[in-house]
Structure 1
Amino acid sequence: MADLKGQWGKARFSIELADDPSERAQGLMNRPVLPAGAGMLFVYEHPQPVSFWMKNTLIPLDMIFFDRSGRVTRVHENAIPGDLTPIDGGPDVLAVLEINGGLARKIGITPGSLLRHPALGKAAEWSCDAP
């Protein structure tokens, strides 16, 4: 499970973890459906520039980029299935959450929202007073 929160409220996703190079390379390619409330969390060994594309991806996805503290830095909405155009996540990305296209906007996930997941470590723990 991965939890997100922000001024909009809270959301929980049942996620698959992609935390090694082969899992990150495969991602959600060749899947005809992503269940509602599901996603894939890509986690890197250290913050770095990342870029994604939609080669062999069959469904539109939202890509949510996080820094080392679990804070959303960018949201790319409705990535186009099969598109080879690179989607830049920016510098210092530690994790990326892919969810069904359009869901980030529907929920209200924006830059500044927070992610909590054990793979991000203590730097991404939520304090009691955080939104």
Structure 2
Amino acid sequence: MLAAFRQNRAVILIVIALVAVGTFVFTSKSSGSNAMLVTATGRHPIDVEIADTPETREIGLMNRDRMDADSGMLFDFDVSRDVTMWMKNTLIPLDMLFMDHRGFVVRIAANAQPLSLSLIPSNAPIQYVLELSGGAAARYGAKVGDHLEHPIITRPNTP
């Protein structure tokens, strides 16, 4: 009977260890979502939060006093359309990369002024906006025509 208890105890400890490891792996990946900004200077990994509901898009990066250098927020507007952003209640300068339905950059608004109510238009139909810390677009060498790779962005064969 003692041998059976020890054997069951070993199985239980193994199961607990597997659950702990699985929980760690799941939670460490759920904090953000990896994206890759592809520019002439290389491939730049960015840990992005996704804003894909009206509520998350409305709040965006408001009231945050800092953002890690290689982090950002990816706004998904579901369909291509003209979009206007602003910096209301946003405490840090941001770069905004406006991207078409395939993730190609069509406009960059660099170092948007914190707390400004000035409107920042996409100037073209877009589906995505990537917000980065002010100056990050220049640091990555981002230009119009570069693109973002992320699982939510599909690249159909049509322009």
Aligned CA-pair RMSD: 1.2
Give, as a single letter, the amino acid of the residue that structure 2 aligns with 1:92: P
Identify unmatched segments of 5+ residues in structure 1.
125-131
Mapped pair 1:113 → 2:146: yes
Separation of aligned partners in 1, 2:78 and 2:93: 27
Larger radius of gyration: 2
CA contact (8 A) 2:69 2:136 kept: no
Identify unmatched segments of 5+ residues in structure 2.
1-33
SS in 1 for 2:125: strand
Structure 1 residue 123, shift from structure 2 partner: 3.1
Q: Which has the higher helix share?
A: 2
Separation of aligned partners in 2, 1:108 and 1:122: 22
Mapped pair 1:44 → 2:73: no
Separation of aligned partners in 2, 1:100 and 1:123: 29
SS in 1 for 2:123: strand
Q: Which has the higher strand share?
A: 1
Separation of aligned partners in 2, 1:78 and 1:84: 14
Separation of aligned partners in 2, 1:119 and 1:90: 23
Q: Deviations over 1:39-84 (max 9, x none)?
A: 0000011000001110000000000010011110011000000000
Q: Deviations over 1:73-127 (max 9, x none)?
A: 0110000000000001122111000000011012100101011111112439xxx
Separation of aligned partners in 2, 1:17 and 1:29: 14
Residue in 2 that maps onto 1:75: 108
SS in 2 for 1:24: helix
Paired-residue identity, %: 41
Separation of aligned partners in 2, 1:58 and 1:108: 24
Separation of aligned partners in 2, 1:51 and 1:90: 9
Question: TM-score if structure 2 supplies the norm length?
Answer: 0.75
Residue in 2 that maps onto 1:102: 135
CA contact (8 A) 1:31 1:58 kept: yes
Separation of aligned partners in 2, 1:103 and 1:91: 22
Separation of aligned partners in 2, 1:54 and 1:15: 18
CA contact (8 A) 1:62 1:79 kept: yes
SS in 1 for 2:152: helix
Structure 1 residue 36, shift from structure 2 partner: 1.4
Higher normalized contact order (CA 8 Å, seq sep 6+, divided by chain length): 1
Separation of aligned partners in 2, 1:109 and 1:115: 10
